[in-house]
Copies of this chain bind each other. A is one copy, B any other.
C-alpha cells in the first residue's frame, strides 16, 4: 500500500516537471487486458470502465464501477473515489469539465509498451465521451510520465528488486548443485520452477518459457520453449530466468559446462567467447551513466564484442527491470525500427536494468551473460553477484 501511495506522489511531481495538467489512466476489465501502469498507481485490477486521474495540483481521483470502489478507497492512494452504476460517461465528462485541464495525458505510447495500456476500443470510447469539449483536442501521450515513474525507482522498489535478485541467485545455486547431466531441458525447466515456488516466488514472464533452458548447440536460442534435448558431456547449459516477489522482478542468465570424460577445463573456444562477452558487458556497464542516451550504452557493448571478432547480438543490450522483467521505458538498444524512439531517451539515476549479450559457440551451445544493475549518479552498480566464472558441472 505505501509503495502505491509513494508512486502516486511521485507522479504529481512528474506532472509538474513535464507541464501536464492531468494524467488519466483509462481502463476496463484488466483481467483481460492489463495496463502495466496500474501496477504502479493502483496495485490491483479493475472491472468496469475506470478512470484514474492525477492532476498537477495534487488531486487524485478514481472513477470506478460500484463494486471496485471499496478496494480503491482501502488503498488510500486516491482522495476522491467516485462509484457509478450504469455507465462512466456522464460522471467522467462532468469531473473533467470541473478540472478544466489545458491538456490531458492519456495512457498510450507508440514506442513504449509499458506506457501503452490504453486499447484502441477504450481510446475510441474516451474521445466519444469527451466529444464536443475542448479537452478532446488536447490529448497527449502519458509516456513521459509513465516511463519516468517506472524508471526512477524509490528506495522501497530498489529493496524489493534486490530481494528477488538474491532469491533468483539462491535458486540458481541450488540448481547447479544438482546432478543436471542427462536431464532434458523440460526436466531442468520443471526443477527451476519447483525451486522458485518453494521460495514463494512467482515468474516475471510466462512460466512456459521461464526459465529458457538451452542444453547444447542444437537448442533454439531466444524465447524458446524447453525441449526434450538432453544435457550431455561436452555441452553448455544456458538458462535465462526471471522471478517475481512482492510485485518486483529479476531477470538473470546463468551458465554451466558439462566436461567430457577426462576434460578438466573448459574448452578454449568457450573461454575465448566467455571473455569477449564479459569484456563487452563491462564496456556497456561502463557507459551506463545518468545523462547519456540509451543507444550509446548499447553501442559501447556491441562494438566491444565485434572488436573481439564475434558477431553483433541481434537484440538490445539492456532493458529496465521492475514491475516486469521487460519493464518498458528506455531501451539500451540499437537505433533499429523496432525500438522506435526508446534508444534515444536519456538515462535517469535510480533506473534498474538487466544488461545482457551472448554468442553461439559452434559445437557447444550458447554463451550468454545477463546481470542486473542499478544506475547511481556515478555509474551502474551490480545488484546481482556477477557470474565471472563458468560453472563446471560434474560429468
Of the listed stretches A12-20, A215-223, A264-272, A343-351, chain B binds A215-223
Give 1 or 0 for each of A207-234: 1 = CB within 8 Å of chain B CB.
0110000000000111111010000000
Which listed residue, B70, B112, B220, B326, touches A70 by the CB 8 Å rule? B220
Which residues on the B side are within 8 Å of A121 (C-beta)? Answer: 108-113, 116
Once A89-B337, A110-B124, A120-B108 are accepted as A-B contacts, the answer to whether A29 and B69 lie under 8 Å apart by CB is no
Bound-state Cα–Cα, A340 to B296, Å: 48
Contact A206 B108 (CB under 8 A): no
Contact B67 A221 (CB under 8 A): yes
Bound-state Cα–Cα, A16 to B31, Å: 30
- Residue pairs across A and B with Cβ atoms less than 8 A apart, 5 shown, are A44-B208, A70-B222, A74-B220, A108-B121, A116-B120
Which residues on the B side are within 8 Å of A32 (C-beta)? Answer: 36, 113-114, 116, 324, 326-328
Q: In chain B, what residue has the closest Cβ to A204?
A: B31
**A98 is an interface residue with CB less than 8 A from chain B:** no
Once A48-B338, A49-B338, A326-B31 are accepted as A-B contacts, the answer to whether A66 and B120 lie under 8 Å apart by CB is no
Bound-state Cα–Cα, A208 to B38, Å: 14
Bound-state Cα–Cα, A32 to B324, Å: 7
**A2 is an interface residue with CB less than 8 A from chain B:** no
Of the listed stretches A53-61, A80-88, A182-190, chain B binds A80-88
Q: Give 16 new A-B contacts, CB below 8 A, not counting A32-B36, A119-B120.
A: A29-B328, A31-B324, A31-B326, A32-B113, A32-B116, A44-B209, A45-B206, A48-B338, A71-B225, A86-B336, A108-B119, A109-B121, A110-B125, A113-B121, A118-B120, A123-B123
**A103 is an interface residue with CB less than 8 A from chain B:** no
Once A44-B209, A338-B86, A338-B87 are accepted as A-B contacts, the answer to whether A35 and B36 lie under 8 Å apart by CB is no
Bound-state Cα–Cα, A318 to B142, Å: 35
Bound-state Cα–Cα, A110 to B28, Å: 11
Chain A residues packing against B (C-beta within 8 Å): 28-29, 31-36, 43-45, 47-49, 65-71, 74, 84-89, 106, 108-114, 116-125, 204-206, 208-209, 220-225, 227, 314-315, 324-328, 336-338
Q: How far is the CB of A52 from chain B (nearest CB, A)?
A: 15
Q: How far is the CB of A330 from chain B (nearest CB, A)?
A: 14
Counting every copy of the chain, the complex holds 2
Contact B110 A223 (CB under 8 A): no
Bound-state Cα–Cα, A86 to B340, Å: 11
Contact A205 B111 (CB under 8 A): no
Q: How far is the CB of A120 from chain B (nearest CB, A)?
A: 4
Which listed residue, B31, B68, B116, touches A122 by the CB 8 Å rule? B116
Q: How far is the CB of A346 from chain B (nearest CB, A)?
A: 21
Q: How far is the CB of A29 from chain B (nearest CB, A)?
A: 4
Bound-state Cα–Cα, A47 to B333, Å: 14
Contact A68 B222 (CB under 8 A): yes
Q: How far is the CB of A160 from chain B (nearest CB, A)?
A: 16
Contact A67 B222 (CB under 8 A): yes
Which listed residue, B44, B65, B224, B327, touches A338 by the CB 8 Å rule? B65
Q: How far is the CB of A206 from chain B (nearest CB, A)?
A: 5
Residue from the set A31, A70, A86 with the largest chain B CB neighbour count within 10 Å = A31
Q: How far is the CB of A312 from chain B (nearest CB, A)?
A: 10
Contact A71 B33 (CB under 8 A): no
